[in-house]
Homo-oligomer: A and B are copies of this chain.
Amino acid sequence: MTEENLKLYADEVNCPVRNVLDRIGDKWSMLVVLLLHDAKVMRFNEIHKTISSISQKMLSSTLKTLEADDLVQREVYPVIPPKVEYQLTARGESLVPHLQSLMHWANENFDEIKQTRSNYGS
Q: Which A residues contact B (CB, under 8 angstroms)?
A: 2, 5-6, 9-10, 12, 15-21, 25-26, 30-31, 34-35, 38-39, 50-53, 68-70, 91, 94-95, 97-99, 101-103, 105-107, 109-110, 112-114, 116-117, 120
User: Interface SS of chain A: helix, strand, loop or mixed?
Assistant: helix
Interchain CA distance A106-B94 in the complex, whole Å: 11
The complex is assembled from copies of this chain, and their number is 2
Most chain B Cβ neighbours within 10 Å, of A17, A25, A70, A120: A17
**Residues in B neighbouring A25, C-beta threshold 8 A:** 21, 25-26
Beyond A110-B16, A116-B68, A120-B68, is A6–B21 a contact (Cβ under 8 Å)? no
